[in-house]
Chain A
Amino acid sequence: MLDVQKIIEDVTQVYGKSRTALMPILQAVVKERNYLEDKEMIAVAKALDLSPAEVFGTASFYTFLDTVPRGKYCIRVCKTISCHMAGKDEIIKALEDTLRIKVGETTVDKQFTLMTANCLGWCHKGPVMLINDEVYPELTPQRAIEIVNGYRRENAG
């Protein structure tokens, strides 16, 4: 169970109860659970004396601070030019097939969300994807599936 109060306490100890603590708190929540729930944004707003709309407005600006439910593993396939040229479409197709979801969707068991991302900074080793914070460059469709299977096994075991 994610304890947002604890996160807020920990972060504000370092950053103080000012707005500069906002990003670190939201990032810490997302690190644990990949997205922000309403009640967490409200708790953060309360702690930093902001309006919930301000917290939501800030969070929704940042691609990684999702405000809609995401799976345990967020897969982000880079879609920008170099990765496009290197075959990101095939990677996405392979992932869609193995996960049985489309881009933007989450698997029924809430394990995986498949998304695309703008340039991830691996243009020389595309196609590339992130799974949460882990990076997987030089993908082939086969390798992408194997990586996802690895997560599946880890989860089952």
Chain B
Amino acid sequence: MTEPREKLELLTVRDLDAGYGDAQILWGVSLGIAQGEIVGLLGGNGAGKTTLLNIISGLNSPKTGSIHYLGEEITHVNTYNRVRSGITQIPEGRQLFPGLTVRQNLLLGSFSLADKSRVPEELDFVFDLFPILSERQKQLAGTLSGGEQQMCALGRGLMSNPKLILVDELSLGLAPVAVERIVEALKKVYREKSLSILVVEQDVHLCLELSTTAYVLETGHIVKQGPSEELAKDPQIRKSYLGI
């Protein structure tokens, strides 16, 4: 892998404090994603991973701190404008529109594309990536299996031709075979499109394998960060997360 630190910063998160009501979830969280980098975010239940992701995508707003994207501050920019500028979230638990067909779900993903003539091209890319979605185009998304739903969610996220995708709990509730299939697809997308990925995972093996740099979030604090290979050798991480 190349050295990500010399690359251009795509997204910079500085000193985020956030929470819901009186409950503070994030304490001074800082994080950086370089262009073309896969960054992993590790942490157990309730560590604040999804909150951090929702703040980056704009669904939640922070109490203090700032977010810069492509050199501009986007801390108070609305979710839909962030999507238009290329930040796409693949939400936890897939969150497809269950009453709409697979095709309609994918088309909704392309909503923010300014140039709609590119839609067929993007659709072809997704169908090439997941041929099963092509077969099930007219089926309601709610009737898909868990793995297919995750494929559809990932495909939908790619339809907007993003620069940065935020993947929340890719492996949640899926069979290992399905996870493997989707991880392969994600790697392929990363190779073929010039994008950056923030992977939020409870599955530490998977997270460290995918990413080049990783952060460890514990009860709202970043407790460790560094190249994923080094973190995988870190005795403390091996003990508390990998159970070795």
Are A and B subunits of one complex? Answer: no
Residues of chain B having any CB pair with chain A under 8 Å:
none
